[in-house]
Amino acid sequence: MRFRHRAAAGIASLLLPLAGAVGLASPAQAAGNATATFTKTSDWGSGFGGQWTVKNTGTSSISSWTIEWDFPSGTKVASAWDATVTNSGDHWTAKNVGWNGTIAPGASVSFGFNGSGPGSPSNCKLNGDSCDGSTQPGDAAPSAPGTPTASSVTDTSVKLSWSAATDDKGIKNYDVLRDGKKVSTVTTTSYTDTGLTAGTDYSYSVQARDTADQTGPVSGAVKVHTTGGSTQPPTGDKVKMGYFTEWGIYGRNYNVKNLVTSGSAAKITHINYAFGNVTGGKCAIGDSYADYDKAFTAENSVSGVADTWDQPLRGNFNQLRQLKAKYPHIKVLWSFGGWTWSGGFGDAAKNPAAFAQSCYDLVEDPRWADVFDGIDIDWEYPNACGLTCDTSGPAAYKNLMAALRAKFGQNYLITAATTADGSAGGKIDAADYAGAAQYLDWYNVMTYDFFGAWDAKGPTAPHSPLTSYNGIPKEGFTTADAMAKFKAIGVPAKKLLVGIGFYGRGWTGVTQDAPGGTATGPAAGTYEQGIEDYKVLKTSCPVTGTVAGTAYAHCGTNWWSYDTPATIKTKMAWANTQGLGGAFFWDFTGDTANGELVSAISDNL
């Protein structure tokens, strides 16, 4: 994918409420090698300013923190920022928000508050231990229970059993979570859930609470499909996959629920969630707030139920979980890299096994393991140049994919987004795509962004030509050339997916209607110069012609190229004749509110 609106995610993080609407921290871990200190930063008689600082004095990262303290009667927190502060009488608790829970060794984070009254804090605890870093025996939270097992599954019920959690003071009870929501609290290690819907997917996990009312981490999740019910309409053997961008929930206000309201969810087979980061030779979270922290309102939630502050999983991951429960045929893959974050693959290629292990550990995190059915690698580009240049060599790509398959096994989907450069000596020739194909379920061949306004003066050319045409600026830059080259080097046609861009690329200062005209620069776009969504272009700059199986539009001095339902129909028919494995698109946000481009793919593939 050539463009990534990363800035939107960063801006949205800065606009989060500082106190009140709070982030959900990971289950607290013992402080052990961490300290918390309090400083009174100001005092104006009737009130004061306070600051807590948490420092990681250990050798491993802290994933979340919770500070507890007591104030004398008459002293309280009036407002706070960079933490969630609550109280029960004179006992106060502060938890990290989504963006400051992780503390690297030697690092520290602070939050502040304005207080009223004359008192100072006492009886301080950090993640259940003393704030000076010493351990408090008996105060540790319980361990995670065992992953539940399901039995006696019927149309409307299922019996769940799990191994007990441990705690030095004893276990009081267990919360049973269905699709991330608490459905019951029990004192035993089994529970029968009833009132379910026939033929439906559910996900169950459990969480223990000790006699001090401390909750431990959530167990792993078990997937359950109730018997009976009507089945999903058959989707055939073709892949119909779309990219869902984590940052789409910000400025674009495109949520997972939009897949339901547009009708697109019923017409696709797979979703690639973009993007996870690749840094330090490992897979990493891309945007923690969007991924698993943001609280969705009932209006914006797939289930129609608002997220709560204390549920174990929120954000897009929980919305995807709800989507899969509603549409069991959909498989979700977590895509790593992309145009912005592909620079990390060079380090990953130095130790493929360690990279694969890090990806597996992240995808299989118990909080969201049931959400993902596989992993997608979007390396732009191995042994070639994208935003940065890679020099890891032609074998690195195959070695990385081999390590991923060895770690994930055969029950996970492993896919990759690839170049569509079919020119002689081009990017397809730079890496061992043929050798890597044996380890992958399919390639998402990015058959778009061939031409665009990065060549500011033109010539104007369609960014997603299906075939060559007279005057094409560079031979080999077509969908047909790319697919032919992949097949020629030995990649099976059924492992190749054709790519569709749900956006256009355009120039301004253009007088010529047909392709090949000169320009003065990129046309204005809503989010980025030279790029605009199909849903905007279809009315703002309607099609004036077609070339090489795709459309173009000349309106005023602007010239755009983009795919329409009609050109998508042509491309899907071509993909069928070539025996390709299906189609994918970048991305959902560019489509109309009723999903007309997704329908064009689904109806014609």
Higher pLDDT, 10 or 71: 71
3-state secondary structure of 14: helix
CA atoms within 13 A on the CB side of 18: 8
Q: Are 336 and 408 within one domain?
A: yes
pLDDT digits (tens, 9 = 90+) for 261-302: 999 999 999 999 999 999 999 999 999 999 999 999 999 999
In a domain, 401, yes or no: yes
Distance CA 51, CA 38 (A): 6
| Domain CATH number, residue 101 | 2.60.40.290
Distance CA 573, CA 513 (A): 27
Q: Are 100 and 192 within one domain?
A: no
Q: Are 415 and 437 within one domain?
A: yes
User: Percent of the chain, pLDDT > 70?
Assistant: 92
Residue 462: name the closest of 397, 547, 388, 586 by CA: 547
Q: Are 211 and 328 within one domain?
A: no
In a domain, 215, yes or no: yes
Residue 16: its pLDDT value, please?
31
Q: Any catalytic annotation for residue 380?
A: yes
Q: Is the pLDDT of residue 97 over 80?
A: yes
For residues 293-320, give the mean pLDDT: 94
In a domain, 135, yes or no: no
The answer to whether 495 and 553 are in contact (CB under 8 A) is: no
Residue 315: name the closest of 147, 146, 145, 99 by CA: 99
Residue 156: its pLDDT value, please?
86
User: Residue 189: which domain range?
Assistant: 149-225
Arithmetic mean of pLDDT over the chain: 89
Catalytic option among 380, 475, 532, 596 = 380
Residue 167: its pLDDT value, please?
86
* DSSP character at residue 148: P
Q: How confident is the model at residue 331 (pLDDT cuts 50, 70, 90)?
A: very high
Rounded to two decimals, what is the model's pTM? 0.68
Higher pLDDT, 169 or 331: 331
Number of domains in the chain: 3
pLDDT digits (tens, 9 = 90+) for 222-258: 888 887 764 444 446 899 999 999 999 999 999 999 9
Question: Which of the listed residues 97, 130, 163 is the one where a domain comes to its end?
Answer: 130
Residue 580: its pLDDT value, please?
97
Question: Which of the listed residues 186, 203, 225 is the one where a domain comes to its end?
Answer: 225
pLDDT digits (tens, 9 = 90+) for 379-432: 999 999 999 999 999 999 999 999 999 999 999 999 999 999 999 999 999 999
Q: How confident is the model at residue 24 (pLDDT cuts 50, 70, 90)?
A: very low
The answer to whether 346 and 278 are in contact (CB under 8 A) is: no
In a domain, 403, yes or no: yes
How wide is the angle at C-alpha 72 spanned by C-alphas 70 and 76, nearest 5°?
75
First vs last Cα of the chain: how many Å apart?
22
The answer to whether 339 and 1 are in contact (CB under 8 A) is: yes
Tally helices (H) and strands (E) across the chain.
13, 32
Q: Is the pLDDT of residue 39 over 90?
A: no
Q: Is the pLDDT of residue 458 over 90?
A: yes
Please say whether the dihedral angle defined by the alpha carbons of residues 467, 264, 199 and 441, taken in this order, is positive or negative. Answer: positive
Instruction: Determine whether 13 is exposed, middle or buried from the number of CB atoms within 10 Å of its CB (0-12, 13-18, 19+).
Output: middle
Q: Give the sheet arrangement for strand 91-95, strand by strand.
A: 84-88, 91-95, 66-70, 122-126, 129-130
Q: Are 202 and 301 within one domain?
A: no
pLDDT digits (tens, 9 = 90+) for 510-552: 999 999 999 999 999 999 999 999 999 999 999 999 999 999 9
Q: Are 299 and 197 within one domain?
A: no
In a domain, 186, yes or no: yes
Q: Are 279 and 203 within one domain?
A: no
Distance CA 268, CA 259 (A): 10
Residue 135: its pLDDT value, please?
56
Q: Are 417 and 299 within one domain?
A: yes
Q: Are 350 and 286 within one domain?
A: yes
Question: Which of the listed residues 130, 157, 180 is the one where a domain comes to its end?
Answer: 130
Q: How confident is the model at residue 43 (pLDDT cuts 50, 70, 90)?
A: confident
In a domain, 510, yes or no: no
Residue 236: its pLDDT value, please?
65
For residues 123-129, give the mean pLDDT: 87
**CA-to-CA dists, residue 578 to 200, 497, 590, angstroms:** 36, 11, 27
Neighbours of 19 (CB within 10 A): 16
pLDDT digits (tens, 9 = 90+) for 551-580: 999 999 999 999 999 999 999 999 999 999
Residue 74: its pLDDT value, please?
84
In a domain, 195, yes or no: yes
Q: Are 199 and 55 within one domain?
A: no
| Domain CATH number, residue 172 | 2.60.40.10
Lowest mean per-residue pLDDT among 62-71, 208-217, 245-254, 371-380: 208-217
Residue 420: its pLDDT value, please?
98
